[in-house]
A and B are shown apart, each in its own frame.
Chain A
Amino acid sequence: MASKTTGDLFEGYRRGGRDQGQAWDEMFDVHGKPRPEYREILVALDQMTQTEFRERTEALASSYLAQGITFDFAGEEAPMPLDAVPRIISPTEWGYLESGVAQRVRVLEMFLEDIYGPGRCIKDGVIPAKLVSTSAHYHRQAAGIESPNGVRVMVAGIDVIRDEKGLWRVLEDNVRVPSGVSYVMSNRRVMGQTLPELFFKMTVRAVGDYPHRLLAALRASAPSGVDEPTVVVLTPGVYNSAYYEHTLLARLMGVELVEGRDLFCTGGRVFMHTTAGPQRVDVIYRRVDDEFLDPLQFRPDSVLGAPGLVEAARRGNVTLANAIGNGVADDKLVYTYMPDLMQYYLGEKPILPNVDTWRLEEPGALEEVLDRLHELAVKPVDGSGGKGLVIGPHASKEELDTLRKTLLRDPRGWIAQPVVQLSTIPTLVDEGIRPRHADLRPFAVNDGNDVWVLPGGLTRVALPEGKLVVNSSQGGGTKDTWVLGRHADADEYDEAREPAIEVAETAEEERPAVERPEDVKPIVVHPAESSRFDLEEQEQQQQQARAEGGRRC
Chain B
Amino acid sequence: MLSRIAESLFWIGRYIERAESTARILDIHLQLLLEPSEVSEDEACRSLMVVLGSPVEEDLLLTGQHVIDKLTVDPARPGSIAHSLFAARENARRAREIIPSDVWECMNTTQMRMPRRLATEQSHRHFGWVRDRTAMTIGMIEGATSRDETWQFFTLGRALERTDMTARMVATRMLPTRPSWTTILWSCGAYEAYLRTYRGAPKASSAAEFLILDRLFPRSTLYSLRLAEDCLREIDPTVVRAGVNDPAARLVGQLRNQLEYLETDQLAENLHGYVDEIQTAAATISEAIQRRYFQSYAPEWTGDGA
Q: Which residues of A contact B (CB under 8 A)?
A: 65-68, 233, 238, 246-248, 250-251, 256-262, 264-268, 272-277, 295-296, 303, 306-308, 311, 550, 552-553
B301 touches A275 (CB 8 A): no
- Report how far A380 CA is from B105 CA in the complex, Å: 40
- Report how far A238 CA is from B93 CA in the complex, Å: 7
If A238-B94, A267-B305, A275-B293 touch, whether A256 touches B2 (CB-CB below 8 Å) is yes
Nearest-Cβ distance from residue B80 to partner chain A, whole angstroms:
11
A264 touches B235 (CB 8 A): no
Q: Which residue of B lies closest to A295 (CB)?
A: B299
If A261-B297, A303-B299 touch, whether A274 touches B3 (CB-CB below 8 Å) is yes
- Confirm or deny: B189 has a beta carbon within 8 angstroms of a beta carbon on chain A: no
B1 touches A266 (CB 8 A): no
Nearest-Cβ distance from residue A148 to partner chain B, whole angstroms:
20
Nearest-Cβ distance from residue B82 to partner chain A, whole angstroms:
14
| Chain A positions within 8 Å of B305 at CB level | 267
- Report how far A440 CA is from B119 CA in the complex, Å: 50
List B residues 220-239 near A (Cβ within 8 Å).
235, 237
- Confirm or deny: B6 has a beta carbon within 8 angstroms of a beta carbon on chain A: yes
B306 touches A277 (CB 8 A): no
Chain A binding site: helix, strand, loop or mixed by DSSP?
A: mixed
B1, B93, B96, B97 — most chain A CB neighbours (10 Å): B97
Q: Which residue of A lies closest to B108 (CB)?
A: A68
- Report how far A256 CA is from B4 CA in the complex, Å: 11
List B residues 289-306 near A (Cβ within 8 Å).
293, 295-302, 304-306
- Confirm or deny: B109 has a beta carbon within 8 angstroms of a beta carbon on chain A: yes
Contacting residue for B302 out of A246, A248, A267, CB 8 A = A267
List B residues 70-124 near A (Cβ within 8 Å).
78, 87, 90-91, 93-94, 96-98, 101, 104-105, 108-109, 112
- Report how far A238 CA is from B96 CA in the complex, Å: 10
| Chain B positions within 8 Å of A264 at CB level | 297, 299-301
- Report how far A307 CA is from B298 CA in the complex, Å: 11
Q: Which residue of B lies closest to A77 (CB)?
A: B112
- Report how far A259 CA is from B3 CA in the complex, Å: 11
- Confirm or deny: B11 has a beta carbon within 8 angstroms of a beta carbon on chain A: yes
Nearest-Cβ distance from residue B303 to partner chain A, whole angstroms:
8
- Report how far A264 CA is from B90 CA in the complex, Å: 25
- Confirm or deny: B43 has a beta carbon within 8 angstroms of a beta carbon on chain A: no
If A68-B104, A267-B305, A296-B301 touch, whether A275 touches B1 (CB-CB below 8 Å) is yes
A68 touches B93 (CB 8 A): yes
Interface string of B265-305 (1 = CB under 8 A from A): 00000000000000000000000000001011111111011
- Report how far A296 CA is from B235 CA in the complex, Å: 35
- Report how far A266 CA is from B299 CA in the complex, Å: 11
A275 touches B108 (CB 8 A): no
If A67-B105, A274-B3, A277-B237 touch, whether A266 touches B97 (CB-CB below 8 Å) is no
| Chain A positions within 8 Å of B90 at CB level | 550, 552
B297 touches A276 (CB 8 A): no
Contacting residue for B306 out of A266, A306, A553, CB 8 A = A266
B6, B104, B301 — most chain A CB neighbours (10 Å): B301
A67 touches B101 (CB 8 A): yes
Nearest-Cβ distance from residue A183 to partner chain B, whole angstroms:
16
Q: How large is the interface on B (under 10, 10 to 19, 20 to 34, 35 or more residues)?
A: 35 or more
| Chain B positions within 8 Å of A308 at CB level | 301, 304
- Report how far A535 CA is from B173 CA in the complex, Å: 58
| Chain A positions within 8 Å of B97 at CB level | 233, 246-248, 250-251, 256-257
- Confirm or deny: B149 has a beta carbon within 8 angstroms of a beta carbon on chain A: yes
- Report how far A262 CA is from B6 CA in the complex, Å: 12
- Report how far A265 CA is from B306 CA in the complex, Å: 11
B301 touches A273 (CB 8 A): no
B104 touches A261 (CB 8 A): no
Q: Which residue of A lies closest to B152 (CB)?
A: A275
| Chain B positions within 8 Å of A268 at CB level | 304
| Chain B positions within 8 Å of A273 at CB level | 2-4, 295, 297
Nearest-Cβ distance from residue A380 to partner chain B, whole angstroms:
32
B105 touches A258 (CB 8 A): no
- Report how far A390 CA is from B101 CA in the complex, Å: 41
- Report how far A95 CA is from B249 CA in the complex, Å: 61
Q: Sample 25 A-B pairs with CB under 8 A, ordered by A number.
A: A66-B105, A67-B108, A68-B105, A233-B97, A238-B93, A247-B96, A247-B97, A250-B97, A251-B96, A251-B97, A257-B97, A259-B4, A262-B4, A264-B297, A266-B306, A274-B1, A274-B2, A275-B3, A276-B237, A277-B237, A306-B301, A550-B90, A552-B11, A552-B87, A552-B90
| Chain B positions within 8 Å of A260 at CB level | 299
Q: Which residue of A lies closest to B14 (CB)?
A: A552
List B residues 233-272 near A (Cβ within 8 Å).
235, 237
Nearest-Cβ distance from residue B283 to partner chain A, whole angstroms:
12
- Report how far A273 CA is from B297 CA in the complex, Å: 8
A553 touches B299 (CB 8 A): no
If A296-B301, A552-B87 touch, whether A275 touches B237 (CB-CB below 8 Å) is yes
| Chain A positions within 8 Å of B5 at CB level | 256
- Report how far A168 CA is from B235 CA in the complex, Å: 55
Nearest-Cβ distance from residue B86 to partner chain A, whole angstroms:
10
A261 touches B4 (CB 8 A): yes
A261 touches B301 (CB 8 A): no
- Report how far A251 CA is from B99 CA in the complex, Å: 9
Given contacts A250-B97, A275-B2, 5 further A-B contacts (CB under 8 A): A65-B112, A233-B97, A257-B96, A275-B3, A307-B300
B2 touches A262 (CB 8 A): yes
- Report how far A276 CA is from B3 CA in the complex, Å: 9
- Report how far A295 CA is from B105 CA in the complex, Å: 36
| Chain A positions within 8 Å of B2 at CB level | 256, 258, 262, 272-275
- Report how far A295 CA is from B298 CA in the complex, Å: 13
- Report how far A274 CA is from B235 CA in the complex, Å: 12
Nearest-Cβ distance from residue B243 to partner chain A, whole angstroms:
20
Which 6 residue pairs of A and B lie closest in terms of their CB atoms, listed nearest first?
Answer: A307-B301, A250-B97, A276-B237, A247-B96, A267-B306, A251-B97
- Report how far A267 CA is from B300 CA in the complex, Å: 12
A275 touches B149 (CB 8 A): yes
Nearest-Cβ distance from residue B75 to partner chain A, whole angstroms:
12
Nearest-Cβ distance from residue A62 to partner chain B, whole angstroms:
10
Q: Which residue of A lies closest to B92 (CB)?
A: A68
| Chain A positions within 8 Å of B293 at CB level | 275
| Chain A positions within 8 Å of B3 at CB level | 262, 273-275
| Chain B positions within 8 Å of A277 at CB level | 237
Nearest-Cβ distance from residue B102 to partner chain A, whole angstroms:
10
- Report how far A267 CA is from B302 CA in the complex, Å: 7
B11, B87, B300 — most chain A CB neighbours (10 Å): B300
Q: Which residue of B lies closest to A258 (CB)?
A: B2
- Report how far A266 CA is from B4 CA in the complex, Å: 20
| Chain B positions within 8 Å of A262 at CB level | 2-4
- Report how far A264 CA is from B235 CA in the complex, Å: 23
Q: Which residue of A lies closest to B7 (CB)?
A: A552
A275 touches B302 (CB 8 A): no
A66 touches B304 (CB 8 A): no
Q: Which residue of A lies closest to B301 (CB)?
A: A307
B93 touches A307 (CB 8 A): no
A275 touches B299 (CB 8 A): no
Nearest-Cβ distance from residue A178 to partner chain B, whole angstroms:
20
- Report how far A68 CA is from B102 CA in the complex, Å: 11
Nearest-Cβ distance from residue B160 to partner chain A, whole angstroms:
15
Nearest-Cβ distance from residue A274 to partner chain B, whole angstroms:
6
Nearest-Cβ distance from residue A294 to partner chain B, whole angstroms:
9
- Report how far A67 CA is from B101 CA in the complex, Å: 8
Nearest-Cβ distance from residue A291 to partner chain B, whole angstroms:
16
A261 touches B101 (CB 8 A): no
B302 touches A266 (CB 8 A): yes
Nearest-Cβ distance from residue A260 to partner chain B, whole angstroms:
7
